[in-house]
Amino acid sequence: MKETAEHDRFELLKSPIDIAEVVRQVRADQDGAIVTFDGFVRNESHGRPTLYLEYEAYEPMALAKMREIGAQVHAKFAIHRLAIVHRLGRLEIGETSVFIAVSSPHRAAAFDACRYAIDTLKRTVPIWKKEYFEDGAVWADGEVPPAPPPAPKTAS
């Protein structure tokens, strides 16, 4: 659908995410359901109090991977519009790091699509989180993206 691609949104932001504005963008009168996922900074990690987080991204690749998730979501689920916005830089406790909104005429597709989008983002989008504590900082344990198998030897 032409209309779909125009209204989808994939963005990396260095300032706070305006959640209400993202929701407005996916909302349309022909829908009936919007499911959103709001991921925000917890005040602890593995039992240690967190001070703040820093996110960095391989920006052009992260955006390309977010758009790929969008294409997969439209192929797999009968949804209308999708928005995926990820924050970068320093984030304080309680601030939103990622916000996903999906609109759909029927709720099951919106739930499935929103969940697929965040699950896939966490496995495949090149973004990294560093956690700052009272006594130091660590890069969060991450997930290894699925890598292509070795290329066949080219006959040359």
| Dihedral of alpha carbons 133, 127, 22, 115, sign | negative
Which of the residues 28 through 87 are near its own copies (CB under 8 A)? 29-44
Nearest distance from C-beta of residue 112 to its own copies, angstroms? 9
Is residue 9 within the footprint of its own copies (CB under 8 A)?
no
Task: State the virtual CA torsion across 60, 64, 65, 70 in degrees, nearest 10.
Answer: 140
From its own copies, other proteins, none, interface partner of 102 (C-beta below 5 to 8 A by class):
none
Per CB under 8 A, the list member of 19, 129, 132, 133 interacting with other proteins is 129
Gap between the Cα atoms of 134 and 128, Å rounded: 20
Is residue 114 within the footprint of its own copies (CB under 8 A)?
yes
Per CB under 8 A, the list member of 23, 130, 132, 133 interacting with other proteins is 130
Sheet strands side by side (includes 136-139): 89-92, 52-57, 127-133, 136-139
